[in-house]
Structure 1
Amino acid sequence: MRALCWEGVNDVRVQDVPDARIQDAEDLVLRVGLSTVCGSDLHLLTGHIPFMQAGDVIGHEFMGEVVEVGPGVTRHKPGDRVVVCSFIGCGRCWYCRHDLWSLCDNTNTDPGITQGLWGADPGGIFGYSHAMGGFRGSHAEYVRVPFADHTAIPIPDGVDDQSALFASDSVPTGWMGADLGGVQPGDVVAVWGSGAVGQMAARAAQLLGAERVLVIDRFDYRLRQAERVFGVETLNYEAVDIGAALREETGGRGPDVCIEAVGCEAHSPGPQHVYDQVKSKLKLETDRPIAVREAVFNCRKGGSVFVLGVFTGFVDKFPLGALMNKGLTLRAAQQHGQRYVPMLLDRIAKGELSTSHLATHMLPLEEGALGYEMFKEKTDGCVRAVFRP
């Protein structure tokens, strides 16, 4: 079968790989309908996450049709249309039973790497390096889905493929940021990043009752899309001082909840960007926490900061003093998709949550390298490139 493979830094190619097949009783094989790029994939392309091997199939956000099920699968049958959570959950460990699905104890098949890095191993994820299990990703004609009864979720008849696609990862990730970030009715919420995850966090904050939502980015086309689709307020950090703007918009206090949806390769027009680039080049830190710093400094006293962007290791100049002395609550997580996806599909079906607009570029799988190039370089107004195998 054909699949988009990582072959080295900034080198992805479509090539032939062995067919997906049932390996365990709880597996299913999915014919991929749609699969999309994700901002966290860019950390793989740049070599920021060093646990890739040539030939690894990338991609983790997808939907499709079930073509084969193992004898232990009870909730799905061939012909079913499903969306697949990016994180694989066994459904029976302590973490899965407590709705902490991305922390599953039984799905990371190479836990030693992350135990050494982080002191514990999270769950496995499709197409996201051997530190996260080494599973084949979704940019392929077919995918093996382990623990299928928990990892694949039926798509309601009223939800089209393109809308369902983003319920795999972007929508539950954004919703989790607003939910676990503690958004309450009447809050003012600031979101750093207006890509798919940032837009979904902003919409989640609105649906949870936020009075105002401000989205921060430097790409006007993404900010305009967020304004048009969801009616949020926007700030371009290359045009305004974000701290001053947020104080002005909140009566001097700062936002009640700040959601960081940028991640470990954040950008800034100021000297801190140069500082972090130099530190990372010299291996004195692994990640650039620019947006996290801004969120901590600008959140109101007693407020909440939630980190949605992917981080890999260690950062410098983290404002722990501000966090402690301002009485902030800081939380972070990879998405617990199985907790949220059924509810989110219902909201999409009811028209409360729009997602299909994120797919700005629809491409055949054979043009996967072009899709990633447009997405990485932010050309032609690309918010998300979507592949149809």
Structure 2
Amino acid sequence: MRALTWHGKHDVRVDTVDDPEILNPRDAIIKVTSTAICGSDLHLYDGYIPTMQAGDILGHEFMGEVVETGPKSTLKKGQRVVVPFTIACGSCYHCGKHQYSACDNANPADNQDIAQTLYGQPMSGLFGYSHMTGGYAGGQAEYVRVPFSDVGPIVIPDGIDDDKVLFLSDILPTGWQAAEFAQIEPGDTVAVWGCGPVGLFCVQSAFLMGAERVIAIDHFPRRLELAAKFGAETLNFEESKTYEALMQMTGGIGPDACIDAVGLEAHGLFVDNVWDQIKVSTFTGTDRTHSIRQAIIACRKGGRVSMPAVYGGFVDKFPLGAFMEKGLTLKTGQTHVQHYLPGLLAAIMEGKIDTTFLISHRMALSEAPEGYKIFHDHQNDVTKVVLKPGLDRVAA
């Protein structure tokens, strides 16, 4: 089959690789019909995430048709399914608490030591996202093996286009969980750093959860325009000082809840961010963490900070004093996708949540390297790239 493979920083290629096979009775094989490039894939593209190996198949946002099942899979051939990017067994201690991204059994034992060394404990397995998270082949491919297929995938009813449900695989549940972690109450003012795909779903979710005001912060005009369409007030951090503007907009109190949807590659010519960039360039640091610092400083006393954004390593200049003295709460983590799927699918079918607005580009799988490049280099114009392996099949 053909699949997109990682070969180093800014080097991804569509190669011919072995077809996936059933390895476990709970496995299923999916023929991919749609797969997307995620903002966190760009961290792999930029070389920030450790334990990648040449030839690894990328992609963790995908859906498709079931073509083969193991004897203990609950799926049936011909079903259309969306597959969560988090891989979970469904029966361990954490899965029992619906903490699927903390599953104890999905990350193979020979990879768990990597994460345990870095983070104290291993996380769940993830599709297409380094050997630290299991080394699983991803879904930017014609076919993919799905472990624990009796737990993860959700069956999509006939007649619903892929575009409407594809983002159930990751970014929609991630935005929803982020808003839920912010403990939004009716009447709240919520500030969202970053109007990429996750940030935009945070904006939608915050309003659905009862926020009175959402303030969206970014510097890409088109992304700010998309946030405004959902009713958000917008701040361009290149045109105004974010902290001062937030204080003015909230009468000096600060937002009730702040959501960091930016992560380890924060933009902006801020003193701390420039210093972080120097440390990254000289291999003395890993992450540029301006946005989470700013969220903590801006949040009101007694407020809540939610961090769906991806961070990879140790950070310094963390405003721990402000965090403690202001009595803030911080909640974060990879998304427990399986927990949210039924409710979010119902919301899409009822017309309460729109996802299709996000797609700016549809490309064949063979065009994936160009898709990565344009998403990386033109983030004002490219909000989401969806790859269609079927376009290559038709061309062939």
Under TM normalisation by the shorter chain, which class is it? over 0.9
Partner of 2:31: 31
CA contact (8 A) 2:20 2:29 kept: yes
Q: Secondary structure at the match of 2:314?
A: coil
User: CA separation in 1, counterparts of 2:138 and 2:183?
Assistant: 32
Q: Over residues 276-296 of structure 1, what are the superposed CA-to-partner deviations in whole Å (9 max), with x where a residue is unaligned?
A: 111222333221111000100
Contact 1:159 1:348 in 2 (8 A): no
Worse overlay, 149-158 or 305-314: 149-158
Q: Do the aligned partners of 2:35 and 2:59 also contact (CA within 8 Å) in 1?
A: yes
User: C-alpha displacement at 1:157, in angstroms?
Assistant: 3.8
- Structure-to-structure mapping, 1:45-124, within 5 angstroms: 45-74=45-74, 76-109=75-108, 110-124=111-125
Task: Flag the 1:169–1:56 CA change in 2: closer, same or farther, 3 A.
Answer: same
**Which residue number corresponds to residue 127 of structure 1?**
128
CA separation of 1:117 and 1:380: change in aligned 2, threshold 3 A? closer
The TM-score, its normalising length taken from structure 2, stands at 0.96
Aligned mates of 1:212, 1:18 — CA distance in 2: 50
Partner of 2:149: 148
Provide, for residues 254-280 of structure 1, a one-character-per-residue CA deviation record: whole Å limited to 9, x for no partner.
Answer: 111100011111112222221111122
Contact 1:22 1:28 in 2 (8 A): yes
Work out whether residues 223 and 380 of structure 2, in 8 Å CA contact, stay in contact via their aligned partners in 1: no
- Partner Cα distance (2:87, 2:291) in 1: 28
Amino acid at match of 2:42: L
Aligned counterpart, 2:394 = none
| Matches of 2:221 and 2:239, distance apart in 1 | 11
What one-letter code is carried by the residue in structure 2 that aligns with 1:306? S
Q: Percent identity?
A: 50
Distance 2:133 2:284 in 1: 24
Q: Is contact 1:187-1:210 (8 Å) kept?
A: yes
Query: Which residue of structure 1 lines up, in the alignment, with residue 287 of structure 2?
Result: 287
Instruction: Work out whether 1:21 is the aligned partner of 2:17.
Output: no
Amino acid at match of 2:325: N
- CA contact under 8 A between 1:192 and 1:260: conserved in structure 2? yes
Is the 2:359–2:384 Cα contact (8 Å) retained in structure 1? yes
Find the residue that maps to 2:280 and give its secondary structure.
helix
The alpha-carbon deviation at position 341 of structure 1 amounts to 1.3
Is the 2:193–2:262 Cα contact (8 Å) retained in structure 1? Answer: yes
**Would the aligned equivalents of 1:61 and 1:165 in 2 still touch at CA under 8 Å?**
yes
1:158 CA drift (Å): 5.8
Aligned to 2:234: 234
1:219 matched residue in structure 2: 220
Which of 282-291 and 298-307 deviates more? 282-291
Preserved CA contact (<8 Å) 1:158 1:349: no
Partner AA of 1:93 in structure 2: C
Counterparts of 1:244-259 in structure 2, within 5 Å, are 244-259=244-259
Q: Distance in 1 between matches of 2:7 and 2:182?
A: 37
Alignment match, 1:352: 352
Does structure 1 conserve the Cα–Cα contact (< 8 Å) formed by 2:99 and 2:336? yes
* Residue in 2 that maps onto 1:302: 302
> In 2, Cα distance between the equivalents of 1:86 and 1:161?
16
Aligned to 1:128, the other structure's residue is in SS state coil
Contact 1:90 1:150 in 2 (8 A): yes
Distance in 2 (CA, whole Å) between partners of 1:380 and 1:42 is 15
In the alignment, structure 1 segments of 5+ residues that lack a partner are none
Cα deviation, 1:12-37, whole Å, max 9, x if unaligned, reads 01010100111100000001010000
Q: Quote the residue 2:204 is aligned against.
A: 203
Aligned counterparts of 1:270 and 1:263: Cα–Cα separation in 2: 15
Q: Which residue of 2 aligns with 1:273?
A: 273
- Runs of 4+ in structure 1 off by over 6 angstroms are none
Tell me if structure 2 keeps the 8 A contact 1:156–1:345.
Answer: no
Q: Which residue type is aligned with residue 242 of structure 1?
A: T
